[in-house]
Structure 1
Amino acid sequence: MRRTLNLLLRDMLLAAVCMLALPGLAANVCGHGDSLLNPQAIAPGLGGTGNLAIRPGIGGTGNLALEPGIGGTGIVGVITGFASICVNGVEVHYDDATPISDNGIAIRAGVLEVGQLVVVQALGNGDELQARRVALLHLAEGPVDEVDMVRGELRILGQTAHWSARPDQWASMRPGAWVRVSGYRLGNGELLTTHLQPASAQAQVQLTGVAEVRGGNIRIGTAVISTSALGFWEVLRTWWAAAGGKELHVQGEWNGERILANNVRIQPTRALLGTMGRVVLEGYARNAGNDHIDLGQGAIALGGTVSAAQREALLRDPEQRIRVFGSVDASGHWIAERIEIRDTPAAHVGRASGPATGGPGDPRNGTAPSPGSMPEPMGTTETAKSPGEPSGSSGKPRAK
């Protein structure tokens, strides 16, 4: 009996391998065949590699090793599902050897969840890539200052964070509780939460965002960043970066009004991306012009392939989520080659940390999503929503 079962399992495995090796079955499944649940969280080592792991290639990269690309592709966006991982509609394959980090600390793949903001270095070009490394990026980590369930808002480190969640999730949220916030920054500097994770209290808070000099202080949102504990050259570098409106990652002590910084990283997202030949970025424009756009990581020049209609749409409504496909020139400047208008803030809802479940609230079953589900990219101009992407709605965040 045991021998018969072994033979049956062997035949099933061989059949599966043959099917996966068929050319037509390696297509990008993000948006129509992906899952809200990370398979690595259930059975570490059994998921995440996708079809490419068993195909011929170099170091497990499969056919992508043969695809064109200069320096690889850098991706910045929110995880929307697991086929391997789906970020910005791109399927990114990874395996047990892929380095995955959280604030420089190595983590296992099972920690990844829908809604988390990631920065990915990948090999290949197109809508299926192989990850070289993956890094989680949190917009804020620290104690909650205020909770406003009616408005769907939290205050954390001087930032307003919009969060659509179930009543039971709000009930567990209290001032003083530590959380880690992932998501997008809106054009007005407020946070659109796509993943909220409870955290244990730490000696230092962390905040990432575009800095500015206002009222004689460096500010990220409404939080003042004090540089008095930094060295002379670090102070100069930080003030220079803030005056130029650059992205900063700040660690330090929070007193309710300001962060006494003891460590500042300038342009952390770009540093995590490294030297890439191409980029796929998603976010909200903090400013836009006829020849440039900025999603918070620095200026992106609009290339000649960006249509006049797209440029006009960017200027007409700054509060819209966009996806940028671009290249990186020899000097490291980002150049947008194609732009997709994804949605406005009103189409977003947030997601709390924890396993996703199916059922009536699962956005992939065609019924209305439950509160607290993943935000939905809804296409508006020139681009339709990818089939199967999650959907949702919430009140539009107020402008300040």
Structure 2
Amino acid sequence: MSRPLPPPRAERLAFAACLAGLLLAACTAQPPAPVPMAAPAGLCRIGRDGGPPPLAEGERGIGGTGILASAEGERGIGGTGSPSLGIVGVVTGFASICVNGLHVAYDPDQPVEAADGPLTPAALRVGQVVVVEATGPDGALRARRIGLRHELAGTVEAVEDGAIRVAGQRVATAGALPAGRAWRVGEAVLVSGLRAPDGSLTATRIDPRPAGGATLVFGRLTRLGGPARIGNLPLRVAPGVELPPDGAVIARGRMQDGVLLADSVERDRLMWDPPAYFGAGRVLIEAWTVSGGGRLLLGPGLSVPAGPGAMGAPGRRVVELRGGPNGPSAAPAGRAAPEAPRGERAPMPDRGFEGRRGLERGAGGRWDSPGRAEAAGRGDRPGPDTPGGGAGGGGRGPDAAPRGGAPGR
């Protein structure tokens, strides 16, 4: 059988040249565009000004967690039938909402309840305190309701190194976000933070607020046989306004000569009974705590029974509260709060305030409020272990709104 003849030499050269051209074209061709990928779940990120980072293509789902929405959009994320979990704590980042060491997914269009009206999750910032009702297992939580919680809303009355005064309340600002922000007397602000058991307030974030809004104060109402006060702030109510029982309250009104003229004063239901507020069997709440006598004090306004395993050392931590017929109680194994922007308790050096209205010069030459010495006698100064780590409850309680209202309203 005869073999086929090889192609002529010229034909072989032409084929080789063509093959070389194809190989060269393959080597110089542009690579294909990368396939969009969702961000890894559980990665906490921070965008501009401490807010959520922009969603990459492919992150159109819930909160940029890498959980993609269904073809129908999966707009509503509640109503799953899963037991509810209440969460109160400082935002540490976004992959969802990163708070109390958990990741809570949310719909980007979900309303966020706030002091001056509803917002979207895009307005959330690291350092703010959120109140979240979530459903699902701890590893796949989804927000059913989100609210912002501000301890104070009002006008800056005085400024010193490491502190400002708002609505008669001293606010320690060292370490508060945005870092390095210098506030001026007369500016309207929203203060996020955590109160110590003595009522002292350390800000975790301070945000500007449109001027003209009502003054909001969230704290512990006391009468002590005299005029009503929230902490050391004198309170005068409008005709027809009835004061609730002493304890954690929300007051709204306007400041006049160092007195809050309140148009409304209502119980702070979150700080009376967190599980009942959420309608949940479990609540994870971040707070400054001290313990003693078989009870755990969270901030200045909430005291719950606690066994030996739930006591722990004084400090800032996340505590699990469980509901029951006799009110909330602390579960064992409370943990330290996750790393988060936080303010340290600032000292009170002998420095002049920019504004001194309503202040008096004390025996040591400091500018101080007339009621501060009286407040100190009620245990409003900090102890050695925490920012305000005394066991006294003479301070002001953290804020939250009644269920169905905006936390911070």
TM-score, normalised on structure 1?
A: 0.66
From 282, 289, 293, the counterpart of 1:285? 289
The reply on whether 1:95 has 2:107 as its aligned counterpart is yes
The answer to whether the 8 Å contact 2:200/2:388 transfers is no
Residues 396 and 325 of structure 1: CA distance in aligned 2, closer, same or farther (over 3 Å):
closer
| Alpha carbons 1:145, 1:157 under 8 Å: kept | yes
Which amino acid is the alignment partner of residue 270 of structure 2?
T
Cα distance between partner residues in 1 of 2:302 and 2:389: 22
Are 1:86 and 2:98 counterparts?
yes
CA spacing shift, 1:126–1:64, aligned 2, 3 Å: farther
Q: Say yes or no: does 1:106 pair with 2:118.
A: yes
Residue identity in the other structure for 1:323: V
Q: Confirm or deny: 8 A CA contact 1:61 1:130 kept in the other structure.
A: no
Residue range with higher mean Cα deviation, 218-227 or 35-44: 35-44
Q: Which runs of 5+ in 2 are unaligned?
A: 1-30, 345-384, 391-409
Q: 1:53 to 1:133 in 2, by over 3 A?
A: farther
Q: Is the 8 A contact 1:53 1:62 kept in 2?
A: no
Aligned to 1:327: 322
Aligned to 2:16: none
Counterpart residue number, 1:195:
205
Shift of 1:348: 4.0
Mapped to 2, the partners of 1:279 and 1:84 lie a distance apart of: 19
CA distance in 1, matches of 2:303, 2:176: 37
Aligned to 1:4: none
Q: 1:129-180: CA deviations, max 9, x gaps?
A: 100010001111111122111xx11111121111115999767322222211
Q: Determine if contact 1:117/1:137 at 8 Å carries over to the other structure.
A: yes
Aligned partners of 1:100, 1:398: CA distance in 2, in Å? Answer: 31
- C-alpha contact (below 8 Å) 1:288/1:294 kept by paired residues: no
Tell me which of 12, 32, 48 is aligned to 2:63: 48
- Partners of 1:286 and 1:226 lie apart in 2 by 31
**Matched-pair contact (CA < 8 Å) for 1:119–1:269:** no
Q: In structure 2, how many angstroms separate the alpha carbons of the residues matched to 1:288 and 1:212? A: 22
Name the amino acid aligned to 1:175: V
Counterpart for residue 267 of structure 2 = 266
Residues 170/54 of structure 1: CA separation in 2 closer, same or farther (3 Å cut) = closer
The 2-side partners of 1:294 and 1:397 are apart by 13
Give the structure with the larger helix fraction. 1
Shift of 1:337: 1.4
Shift in alpha-carbon separation, 1:195–1:201, aligned structure 2, 3 A = same
Letter in 2 for 1:336: A
The structure-2 alpha-carbon separation of the partners of 1:166 and 1:135, relative to structure 1 and needing over 3 Å to count, comes to closer
Question: Aligned partners of 1:399 and 1:291: how far apart in 2?
Answer: 15
Distance in 1 (CA, whole Å) between partners of 2:100 and 2:129 is: 11
Residue aligning to 2:35: 12
| Cα distance in structure 2, aligned partners of 1:321 and 1:184 | 9
Aligned to 1:77: 89
Cα 1:230/1:74, change in 2 over 3 Å = farther
Compared CA separation, residues 59 and 336, structure 1 to 2 (3 A): farther
Residue 120 of structure 1, CA deviation: 0.5
Q: Of residues 329, 336, 341 in structure 1, which corresponds to 2:330?
A: 336
Report SS of the residue matched to 2:122. helix
Can you list the C-alpha shifts for 1:178-236, whole angstroms capped at 9, x where unaligned? 21100101122111100011223225211112222236122222211212x142xx41x
Of 179, 187, 205, the residue aligned with 1:177 is 187
Using the TM superposition, give the Cα deviation of residue 43 of structure 1 relative to its aligned residue in structure 2, in angstroms.
Answer: 5.7
Quote how far apart the aligned CAs of 1:42 are: 4.1
Other structure's SS at 2:138 match: coil
Please list the CA deviations of residues 267-300 of structure 1 after superposition, one character each: whole Å capped at 9, or x if unmatched: 1435994312211001113765314433455333
Query: Separation in 1 of the partners of 2:231 and 2:183?
Result: 22
SS of residue paired to 1:110: helix
Q: Contact 2:288–2:317 at 8 Å: present in 1 too?
A: yes
Q: 2: distance between equivalents of 1:79 and 1:249?
A: 22
Any unmatched runs of 5+ in structure 1? 1-6, 351-394
Mark the CA change 1:40 to 1:293 in structure 2 (over 3 Å): closer, same or farther: closer
1:353-392 map, 5 Å: none
Identity of aligned residues (%): 25
* Pairwise CA distance, 1:310: 4.7
Q: Distance in 2 between matches of 1:167 and 1:334?
A: 32
**SS of structure 2 residue aligned to 1:269:** helix
Number of the residue aligned with 2:216: 206
Deviation at 1:60, TM superposition (A): 6.2
Q: Say which of 153, 156, 159 aligns to 1:144.
A: 156
Are 2:216 and 2:252, in contact at CA under 8 Å, matched by a contact in 1?
yes
CA-based RMSD: 3.9
**Pairing partner for 1:117 from 123, 129, 140:** 129
Instruction: Name the SS of the counterpart of 1:324 in structure 2.
Output: strand
How far did 1:341 drift?
A: 4.9
- Relative to structure 1, is the Cα distance of residues 127 and 56 closer, same or farther in structure 2, using a 3 angstrom cutoff? farther
SS at the partner of 1:214?
A: coil
- Secondary structure (helix, strand or coil) at the match of 1:207 reads strand
Supply the distance in 1 between the matched residues of 2:73 and 2:327 (Cα, whole angstroms): 30
Q: What one-letter code is carried by the residue in structure 2 that aligns with 1:337? A: A
Tell me what 1:248 maps to.
249
The structure, 1 or 2, with the larger RCO (C-alpha pairs under 8 Å, 6+ apart) is 2
